[in-house]
């Protein structure tokens, strides 16, 4: 069966399973389910994709991914920020900044991971799980296996965190709203924030989701800043290489190529994401339209995940070893413990 038939079926199956109460209780959304199904299909399928199927897979991983993130903005509004207060926004900013900074430093300098793997895991842990990894992927242009590894680690420890929150709540002295802010500011995925908050009560769940969505809204400026920083670092390294080559007569390096400046990658879909969130903030959209847009976003993102999983090589994942898991574990501990003390101090 051709890929352009299998992937939509896999996507719809993942979305349907994510709506089952027993599945959603584990905090599993359609995105991680879709990538797992895609990986299983890619592993057991004996077919070799023809040119048309390869083009379709590329379309899913690029165009549909961007469309899904743009439409995702219709589920957010700036009124949500006002609902929880400035303290929650400050907590989210500190969590994103510290987790991403520590994650990239430890991953690259200490664990000696590939730069892209470290950045992807750090971004997924700091902001919004798989969706953040997919958005960051558009700037880094990493290998498919690196994206899959990052998503797997974030889903694993995000699920572990989700089961930890109800246990933690029994041992701490925090109000239901404060604990909801704690969940929202430290949970990996939106679905996991929903499941963890619901295990306490509805008020905690609502607060957790709002705070989590504020973190999601910060994805847009994060991607723009990351692109700018990476471009600056690349240009600086190119200048050093060029100057070294110019001072060495025996170096057979194409100086012209080395002098070429790296181009700033502007992920234009991020502006679309910001625009849809702004529209949803100032325009009252019918609930029926919101439901359609939400499904379209979920379908597009899940299809991108399925295509990514289908083209992932299992051997490359095994080759990565335990280091990605170690980094994700460090960030998990940082979110749970550091996030708790931060919330206790500010909230």
Residue 240 CB contacts under 8 Å (≥ 6 apart), including other chains: none
The pLDDT confidence band at residue 251, using thresholds 50, 70 and 90, is very low
Burial class (CB in 10 A: 0-12, 13-18, 19+), 145: buried
Q: What is the model's pLDDT at position 266?
A: 62
Give residue-wise pLDDT tens across range 258-298: 444 445 566 688 888 889 989 999 999 999 999 999 999 99
Give residue-wise pLDDT tens across range 182-191: 999 999 988 8
Q: Is residue 243 part of a domain?
A: no
Q: Helices 176-186 and 339-346, interaxial angle, to 10°? A: 140
In the three-class reduction of DSSP (H, G, I as helix; E, B as strand; rest coil), residue 268 is classed as: coil
Q: Is residue 181 part of a domain?
A: yes
Q: Is residue 244 part of a domain?
A: no
Give residue-wise pLDDT tens across range 193-248: 888 888 888 888 888 988 998 898 899 899 999 998 988 887 776 666 556 556 55
The pLDDT confidence band at residue 100, using thresholds 50, 70 and 90, is very high
Buried b (16+ CB within 10 A) or exposed e, 322-331: ebbbbbbebb
Least confident of 94-103, 305-314, 325-334: 305-314
Is 90 exceeded by the pLDDT of residue 332? yes
Is 90 exceeded by the pLDDT of residue 52? no
The pLDDT confidence band at residue 48, using thresholds 50, 70 and 90, is low
Neighbouring C-beta atoms of residue 236, cutoff 10 Å: 11
Q: What is the model's pLDDT at position 247?
A: 57
Q: What is the model's pLDDT at position 265?
A: 61
Is 70 exceeded by the pLDDT of residue 250? no
Q: Any idea which residue has 């399928």 for tokens? A: 45
Distance CA 49, CA 322 (A): 31
Distance CA 342, CA 347 (A): 8
Sign of CA dihedral 193, 195, 199, 203: positive
Q: Is residue 209 part of a domain?
A: yes
Q: Is residue 247 part of a domain?
A: no
Q: Is residue 253 part of a domain?
A: no
Mean of the pLDDT values across residues 60-70? 88
- Higher pLDDT: 205 or 28? It is 205
Stated pTM of the model: 0.80
Buried b (16+ CB within 10 A) or exposed e, 187-223: bbbbbbbbbbbbbbeeebbbbbbbbbbbbbbbbbebb
Q: What is the model's pLDDT at position 120?
A: 97
Is 50 exceeded by the pLDDT of residue 50? yes
Q: Is residue 281 part of a domain?
A: yes
Total count of domains within the chain: 1
Q: Is residue 248 part of a domain?
A: no
Percent of the chain with pLDDT over 90: 42
Q: What is the model's pLDDT at position 191?
A: 80
Give residue-wise pLDDT tens across range 10-20: 999 999 998 99
Give residue-wise pLDDT tens across range 145-167: 899 899 989 888 988 998 899 99
Q: What is the model's pLDDT at position 257?
A: 40
Give residue-wise pLDDT tens across range 296-313: 999 999 998 898 888 777
Neighbouring C-beta atoms of residue 101, cutoff 10 Å: 12
Instruction: Write out the residue range of the structural domain in which residue 200 sits.
Output: 3-43+51-238+260-346
Mean of the pLDDT values across residues 101-110? 97
Is 60 exceeded by the pLDDT of residue 84? yes
Q: Any idea which residue has 């589920």 for tokens? A: 75
Mean of the pLDDT values across residues 320-329? 93
Distance CA 300, CA 204 (A): 30
Among residues 260, 266, 261, 262, the alpha carbon closest in space to that of 227 is found at 266
Q: What is the model's pLDDT at position 21?
A: 84
Sign of CA dihedral 64, 70, 74, 79: positive
Mean of the pLDDT values across residues 167-174? 90
Q: What is the model's pLDDT at position 90?
A: 93
What is the chain's mean pLDDT, rounded? 86
Q: What is the model's pLDDT at position 194?
A: 83
């Amino acid at each position: 069966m051709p890929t352009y038939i299998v992937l939509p079926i896999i996507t719809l199956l993942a979305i349907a399973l994510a709506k089952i109460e027993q599945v959603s209780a584990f905090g599993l959304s359609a995105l991680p389910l879709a990538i797992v199904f895609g990986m299983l299909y890619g592993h057991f399928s004996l077919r070799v994709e023809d040119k048309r199927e390869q083009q379709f897979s590329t379309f899913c991983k690029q165009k549909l991914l961007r469309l899904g993130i743009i439409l995702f903005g219709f589920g957010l509004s700036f009124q949500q920020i006002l609902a929880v207060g400035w303290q929650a926004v400050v907590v989210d900013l500190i969590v994103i900044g510290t987790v991403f900074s520590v994650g990239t430093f430890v991953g690259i300098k200490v664990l000696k991971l590939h730069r892209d793997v470290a950045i992807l895991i750090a971004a997924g842990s700091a902001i919004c799980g798989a969706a953040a990894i997919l958005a960051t992927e558009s700037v880094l242009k990493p290998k498919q296996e690196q994206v899959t590894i990052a998503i797997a680690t974030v889903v694993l420890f995000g699920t572990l965190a989700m089961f930890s929150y109800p246990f933690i709540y029994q041992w701490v002295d925090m109000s239901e709203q404060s604990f909801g802010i704690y969940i929202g500011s430290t949970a990996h995925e939106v679905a996991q924030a929903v499941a963890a908050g619901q295990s306490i009560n509805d008020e905690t769940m609502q607060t957790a989701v709002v705070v989590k969505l504020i973190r999601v809204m910060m994805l847009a400026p994060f991607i723009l800043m990351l692109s700018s920083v990476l471009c600056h670092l690349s240009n600086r390294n190119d200048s050093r290489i060029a100057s070294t080559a110019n001072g060495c007569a025996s170096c057979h390096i194409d100086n012209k190529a080395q002098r070429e400046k790296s181009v700033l990658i502007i992920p234009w879909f991020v502006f679309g994401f910001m625009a849809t969130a702004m529209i949803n903030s100032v325009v009252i959209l019918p609930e029926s339209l919101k439901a359609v847009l939400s499904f379209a976003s979920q379908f597009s993102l899940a299809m991108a995940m399925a295509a990514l999983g289908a083209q992932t090589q299992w051997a490359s994942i095994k080759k990565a070893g335990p280091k990605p898991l170690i980094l994700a574990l460090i960030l998990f501990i940082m979110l749970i413990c550091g996030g708790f003390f931060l919330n206790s101090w500010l909230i």
